[in-house]
Amino acid sequence: MAYDVQQLLDMSQQQLDDLFRASPAGDIPSGEAEGTAIIAPGTTYSELIAKFINHFGWQGKVFDAENGVLKNKVTTLGLKAIVAKVGKGESWLDGKECIVLDYSDTSLVARRIRDEIRLISPNLYLGKVYVGKERLIDFCLKF
């Protein structure tokens, strides 16, 4: 089944977790991706929160697969900042392969952050954000 951003915003947390578990890691992406934060999934607030975050805080990520790094697009200006190392690894959610976005050695601001993504549809990845070992939110990346 092909998914879109709106479907993800409408899903419950359990549905998002199940979709992540059922999806392959996929290839490490390259290029610019539009990001959507998924907070309070499946509620009437999810879309509004996503739009607010997208406008004022985080717009997505720019991947350089060849060099195994990415930069986040942040602020209303879409500045490319907050670097992460990118590689395949074991998911903290289910122990299966995923693409890990690791900020621990590349960012003072986000050094406790770890993201995991998996390919859920062509050019669409679902992600999990961890602070330390605690899950924080979900997000998606559309290439």
* Among 103, 140, 107, CA closest to 124: 140
**According to CATH, what is the number of the domain 5-142?**
2.40.160
Query: 1 falls in which pLDDT band (50, 70, 90)?
Result: confident
HSE-CB at 33 with a 13 A cutoff on CA atoms is 29
Q: What percent of the chain has pLDDT over 90?
A: 98
CA-CA-CA-CA dihedral for 17, 19, 24, 27, to nearest 10: -90
Q: How confident is the prediction for the chain on average, in pLDDT?
A: 97
Query: Which pLDDT belongs to residue 19?
Result: 98
Query: Which pLDDT belongs to residue 53?
Result: 96
In whole angstroms, how far apart are CA 77 and each of 12, 34, 54, 64, 129? 31, 14, 11, 21, 23
The mean pLDDT of 111-136, rounded to a whole number, is 97
> Going by C-beta distance under 8 Å and a sequence separation of 6 or more, which residues neighbour residue 36?
5, 8, 9, 50, 54, 139, 140, 142
Query: Which pLDDT belongs to residue 6?
Result: 97
Give the global pTM. Answer: 0.96
* Model confidence at 39: pLDDT above 90: yes
Task: Give tens-digit pLDDT for 62-112.
Answer: 999 999 999 999 999 999 999 999 999 999 999 999 999 999 999 999 999
Query: 7 falls in which pLDDT band (50, 70, 90)?
Result: very high
Q: For residues 131 and 76, what is the distance between their CA atoms, to the nearest angstrom?
A: 24
Read off the tokens for 32: 């610019």
Stretch (H or E) spanning 136: strand 134-142
Name the residue ranges covered by the structural domains of the chain. Answer: 5-142
Query: Which pLDDT belongs to residue 31?
Result: 98
